[in-house]
Chain A
Amino acid sequence: MDFKRFLINFLSSFLIVLKRSVGLISDPYKTMRKISMERDSYQLFIIAGLIFVYFKFIYFLRDKIYPATFIYLIFVADFLTMVGFFYLMTKFIGSRKNKKEISFISFIFTFAYSLLPTLIWFLSTSVLYVFLPPPRTFSLLGKGFSIFFVTYSLSLFIWKLILIYLALRFSSKQNFFRIIYMIIFFLIWFIPYSVFLYQFKFFRIPFV
């Protein structure tokens, strides 16, 4: 009976994740506002599970220096550090009324959903690595593919920026300038940290 209830909850959460993912493409503002009020923890496990499956998949394509689970744990630590940083920043710069309104779980949900463009880009790049392995050539097809790939990557990057901004807007409830300050403060420590991750061959491009 308990397993039946778990299965129903899991499947309904899975459908909500799908609906929200489509919503983030077609209607990011309204969807992110709804996500910031979400409290269904199954959705977080589904997103975390999808990312875990991705790390298991790319283990076979990478140099196999570190186990996939270890890389996944580094990602989880990075994610929680990033979310914790923005949460504490909001606590630090927010007004007294604002401090009562914000919740850590809202940050977790919005940032978890903002991983969607990252997951799509990393997954599609790894699949392309199999079917169209680099290096790219200077032929007409090579140039055409390069323009397509840059367009695709930039589009997902802009989508990611929109989602990160909305995640911060609805979780922290701060105005535009304060959100930009928070992102600048985040980049001050995150860029050197990304170089560290690259040097130790954990990630070439950080998965955030």
Chain B
Amino acid sequence: MKNINFRMKQKMNEVFSIEPNDLGTGYLTSFFKKTTSYLKTMPFIYVIPFTFFISIFMYFVLGRFLIKLVTILQYGF
């Protein structure tokens, strides 16, 4: 029982180690919390489709420059 209490206290300290974010206005704070909640667990589920869409968009906007950019990036390591 003592052990469970200790672990519970430890977990509570871990969870409340930082104060919740407050962006000034209620609307902004709730928008921020809603948006970031998707990124807290399994962010790649949202990130990969988003970046794929951005890449396709960049290809249509930049055209051949995108291919040149990839060549430059490949020399970047």
Contacts and interface: CB of A to CB of B under 8 A. Distances in A.
B interface majority secondary structure: helix
Given A146-B66, A173-B19, A176-B21, A27 B71 contact: no
Contact of B74 (A134, A169, A177): A134
Bin the interface of chain B by size. 35 or more
Given A25-B44, A28-B43, A147-B59, A135 B71 contact: yes
A175 interface: yes
B51 A158 contact: yes
Contacts, number: 114
Interface string B43-77: 11001101110111011000010111111011111
B77 A205 contact: yes
A202 B19 CA distance: 40
- Which of B40, B56, B77: most chain A CB closer than 10 A? B77
B67 A136 contact: yes
B21 A33 contact: no
Interface residues of A, number: 45
B18 interface: yes
Interface of A: 25-30, 33-34, 36-37, 58, 61, 122, 125-126, 128-129, 133-138, 142-143, 145-147, 149-151, 153-155, 158-159, 162, 169-170, 173, 175-177, 204-205
Sorted from nearest, which 9 A-B pairs have the closest CB atoms?
A29-B40, A154-B51, A134-B74, A205-B76, A146-B70, A150-B55, A135-B71, A126-B77, A134-B71
Given A128-B74, A147-B66, A176-B21, 13 more contacts: A27-B41, A27-B42, A30-B41, A129-B74, A136-B74, A138-B67, A146-B67, A147-B52, A150-B55, A150-B66, A151-B52, A162-B43, A173-B17
